[in-house]
Amino acid sequence: MNKIGKAILVFLAVLLYLIPMIGVIVISNIEKQSYAEDTEFSFEVSSYGEAVTIERQEMYEYYVVDLKASSITYRDITVNNRAKLLCKVGDEISNGQLIADDGTTAEFDGEITDIEYGDKITLTCLDIDQLVLELDLPADKYGVISGKKFQNEQGDTFEIVKKSKMITDGMFHMILSMPEDMHMIYGQELTNYTLYTGTVYHDALTVEKNCVYQRGNSYYVRIVDENGKFVSEEEVKLGYADEKYVCVSGDGIEEGMYCDSGYADVVDQDEENQGY
């Protein structure tokens, strides 16, 4: 075989050896380009939670509270100073119970809180037949509660008897009248009881509370489209809120928009990680 033939055979052998390697390199480059193109065209800032709608609705103002049956009514029982008392301070007395050996009886249910001796004996008693309801509310609700009564879900009315002007441990104290149809005994408690103020926010623009997050002294919602793609971040002002919804207002929001319901948790977590 001449030199030219040998050279051709060597060239073909080298070519056969390189073809698989060249193929792998070409395919790899094609895949990389395809991946880059897919990434470029499909990348979107997505929502962190479900996209929920900003909507208008009637908001009935209410508070969920813990109530305790109590009394603020005191009554006196007068006894002849020569009589012997059959009870003492701290004793519970019942209507019709004999109080002294002169035949004096109680005309109500109650508790003896004080006894004074003089020309006559005066027993001061807490009347537990005439009950009221005590409750505590957060201090930020103090200015909001401007009405004089509440109602429950059955329509019974609770008049405001007293609203304390003192804040203690972030709470203020209130005393309400007890409706006639409500039957409780002194000291009994009701937890998670719903009281309506009678205020209705008509056609209120609302969003779920978990869509709202805070930065500094301002509040925001993260607007997305119906598929969860990020659109904008809008500042909002907050109004009345119940357990699920909050009334909002702002130039950049309107009915029918979608909010990211998961972003607030991300913001909270970032602040925790940064030590706020």
Residue 140 and residue 266 share a domain: yes
Question: Which residues span the domain enclosing 190?
Answer: 51-68+131-273
Q: pLDDT tens-digit profile of 63-108? A: 999 999 999 999 999 999 999 999 999 999 999 999 999 999 999 9
Residue 138 and residue 57 share a domain: yes
Quick check: is 16 in a domain?
no
138 closest CA partner among 176, 175, 166, 171: 171
Residue 169 and residue 61 share a domain: yes
Residue 104 and residue 181 share a domain: no
Q: What are phi and psi of 49, to 5 degrees?
A: -150, -170
Global pTM value: 0.69
> For position 15, what pLDDT does the model report?
54
Residue 168 and residue 87 share a domain: no
List the end-to-end C-alpha distance of the chain, in Å, as a whole number.
85
- Taking the CA atoms of residue 178, residue 184, residue 186 and residue 191 in that order, the dihedral angle to the nearest 10 degrees is -90
Band (pLDDT 50/70/90 cuts) for residue 35 is very low
Band (pLDDT 50/70/90 cuts) for residue 13 is low
Distances (CA, A) of 37 to 24, 25, 57, 230: 20, 18, 45, 21
Quick check: is 22 in a domain?
no
Q: pLDDT tens-digit profile of 218-267? A: 999 999 999 999 999 999 999 999 999 999 999 999 999 999 999 988 88
Residue 106 and residue 212 share a domain: no
> For position 7, what pLDDT does the model report?
57
Q: pLDDT tens-digit profile of 139-196? A: 988 887 767 799 999 999 999 999 999 999 999 999 999 999 999 999 999 999 999 9
Is a pLDDT exceeding 50 seen at residue 43? no
